[in-house]
Amino acid sequence: MSAYITPITTAAILFPFLAALAVVPYALWQYRKYGSISKLKLLVVFSFSFYLLCAYFLIILPLPDRNVVAHLTTLRYNLVPFTAARYFFKTTVLNITQPATYLAALRQPGFIQPFFNLVLTIPFGLFLRYILGVSLKKAVLASFCLSLFFELTQLSGLYFIYPRPYRLFDVDDLILNTSGGTLGYLIEPLFVKLFPTIEQLNQEAEKERNIASFWRRLLALVIDLFIFNLIFQILGAVIKPLATQNYGIYLIGVFIYFVLVPMLAQGSTLGKKLVKIKIVAVNEQPVGFGPLLVRQFLLYGVVFGNLDYFLPLVLKAFTAANGQHLAFYLTILALSGIVFVLCLLNALVLLLKKNSRMFYERLTKTREIGY
């Protein structure tokens, strides 16, 4: 049993990290195509990814010692079809004329190993038809290619990391894996009876295209901050004065990237453009220069400026003061902390209530919409 539990446990540990890397490109694709992300579709897609990771680990783990593998004398491959069937009838207690032997035969290695290879790819065929809607021929071909990839991984000694194969390349595995993928494809209609179709999930997501949800806005913000800081890092490496923590230079950068760019791009920064949202007036007309300038200054100049420039400067002065003017510095830090906490609470309201707006949007009578 540990031969199955260990690979699955390993996949469960690694999957959150791999999934985190895939979240941004997947979210960008979803937002650009449908304007929203279906939670159920997200669960299905990432379940498929987790299944593939588990399947891969099941065929390579546990990893043996290289010295042990170098001294193996076991067969490297089997090219004779249906060897597994002959091995089953030869090694198990099965007697066709004695039904009492059926259940016992199913518990023996001669059945379990081939059965595992059949079951291994059933989810693959099912997911292919459910998520991608492929034809039967494509599902069979894809299942064969997946199985061939697994077998070549084993035949190559994990891509020549090992001096020789530590698992058998078996033509029967190709047959069983391909059959399993085909079976998964055929039983997919039963799965659809329990869950809505992908088309239905996409239609539901399409209905929210014009809504700039919290997560959609957050992704755009993260992308914008990444691009903005990357530009500053590059400029700072080329022009040394720009590398200093200069609040005035920071505000100039904010004006160029977060005010001028949206004015020229119909209310969208680069991040917002990627997820298809834009800043508009409350009546959904193009935002004016004045409201946009104040809005962006409040968010990037005050909120992020407080975190990136003001707080570090106060903390540095507080440390250098050696306990002097304690009440003054504590008051300033408390006020900065209050501003930060209020922003977080406002963001929490935005997360929980779809039609709410951030404080800088209320003050400037602006909002964000999808398109």
Tens digits of pLDDT across the chain (371 residues): 555 677 778 878 887 888 777 888 888 888 888 888 888 888 888 899 999 999 999 999 989 999 999 999 999 999 999 999 999 888 888 888 888 888 888 889 899 989 999 999 999 999 999 999 999 999 999 999 999 999 999 999 999 999 999 999 999 999 999 999 999 999 999 888 888 888 888 888 888 888 899 989 999 999 999 999 898 888 877 777 665 567 888 899 999 999 999 999 999 999 999 999 999 999 999 999 999 999 999 999 888 888 877 777 777 777 777 767 777 777 877 887 888 888 889 999 988 887 789 999 999 999 999 99
pTM of the model: 0.74
Burial group, residue 249, by CB count within 10 angstroms (0-12, 13-18, 19+):
middle
User: 11 to each of 19, 41, 118, 299, how far by Cα in Å?
Assistant: 11, 21, 20, 40
Which pair of structure tokens corresponds to residue 320? 């250098």
Of the CA atoms within 13 Å of residue 281, those in its CB half-sphere come to 8
**Averaged pLDDT score across all residues of the chain:** 88
Report which of 284, 275, 367 is spatially closest to residue 37, judged by C-alpha positions.
275
Which amino acid does the sequence have at 361? E
18-55 as b/e: b if 16+ CB within 10 A: eeeeeeeebbbebbeebbbbbeebeebbbebbbbebbb
Q: Give the angle subtended at the CA of 49 by the CAs of 192 and 141, to the nearest 5°.
A: 70
Of the CA atoms within 13 Å of residue 40, those in its CB half-sphere come to 14
Residues 6 or more apart whose CB falls under 8 angstroms from that of 221 comprise: 271
The residue whose two tokens read 């491959």 is 77
Reduced 3-state DSSP string for the chain: CHHHHHHHHHHHHHHHHHHHHHHHHHHHHHHHHHCCCCHHHHHHHHHHHHHHHHHHHHHHCCCCCHHHHHCCCCCCEECCCCHHHHHHHHHCCCCCCCHHHHHHHHCCHHHHHHHHHHHHCHHHHHHHHHHHCCCHHHHHHHHHHHHHHHHHHHHCHHHHCCCCCCCCEEHHHHHHHHHHHHHHHHHHHHHHCCCCCHHHHHHHHHCCCCECCHHHHHHHHHHHHHHHHHHHHHHHHHCHHHHCCCHHHHHHHHHHHHHHHHHHCCCCCHHHHHHCEEEEECCCCECCHHHHHHHHHHHHHHHHHHHHHHHHHHHHHHHHCCCCCHHHHHHHHHHHHHHHHHHHHHHHHHHHCCCCCCHHHHHHCEEEEEC
β-strand 77-78 against 169-170: which pairing, if any?
A: parallel
